[in-house]
A = this chain, B = another copy of it.
Amino acid sequence: MCSPSCRIKIINGNTCQPMTANINGSAQAVKFPHTQIVTVQPRTGPESIESFYDEFLAIPGILEQIILDTESNAFILACWGDPGLEAAREITPRPVIGIAEASLYMANMLAAKWSVVTTLHRVRDMVEKTVHRTGLTGRCASVRTTRLSVLDTERDRTATLDILTAASQLAIQEDGAEAICLGCAGMSGLEQQLEDRLGVPVIDAVAAAVKLAESV
């Protein structure tokens, strides 16, 4: 587990700089005082991951951020599909935590059934595969997609909040979800406002991963 001088490196899977800043802000807000958080993005790769193709192009740059790092005690992959997670664990003995799996474990501790609310309809298959890989498909009430791209979530926070609220309400009322997992790193920071509107726990994947990384 993290010692007083613990350093955690968060790797945004996207090369979109404002998203890196947003992720860093969420992480700094929930970390223990003694934890040092450094948030980076790959040197090259797609601006945002909106498809399997984007994801596979991003992975070598993500893994490079681990290979070149000699200072951090743990790594967080900050893209909801946990891209390259198995490979990351092969190349370092230090803990590597995906934000998707972290948010699903947190949800599983809070609710019998939960839903993932995420970006464009075309990522449904990616999200379902991620839930499946983590092993928790049986506890997933639904995956609810929206008309938001990853970059949209950064651009208009008010519209994003409204769209997430509507999708989450459907998940709660029609699918039986008792908690909501935000299925994109770009949604980080909206969890409290969304929780106030919905009345059920809303899990920010970045915050969940920071807390688990401090625990491992």
Contact = CB atoms under 8 A, between A and B. Distances in A.
Interface of A: 1, 30, 32, 51-53, 55-57, 59-60, 63, 84, 86-87, 90-91, 95, 97, 101, 105-106, 108-110, 112-113, 124-126, 129, 132-139, 176, 211-212, 214-216
Q: How many copies does the complex hold?
A: 6
Contacts of A55: 87
A53 B135 contact: no
Contact of A84 (B56, B110, B212): B56
User: Which residue, of A30, A108, A109, has the highest number of chain B Cβ atoms within 10 A?
Assistant: A109
Given A86-B125, A87-B53, A135-B139, A108 B101 contact: yes
Contact of A109 (B101, B176, B211, B214): B101
Contact of A1 (B84, B109, B211): B211
A76 to B, nearest CB: 11
B108 A135 contact: yes
A52 B86 contact: yes
Contact of A211 (B136, B137, B215): B215
Nearest to A125: B112
Contacts of A90: 51-53
Contact of A63 (B53, B101, B106): B53
B134 A216 contact: no
Contact of A214 (B95, B135, B215): B215
Contacts of A63: 53, 56-57
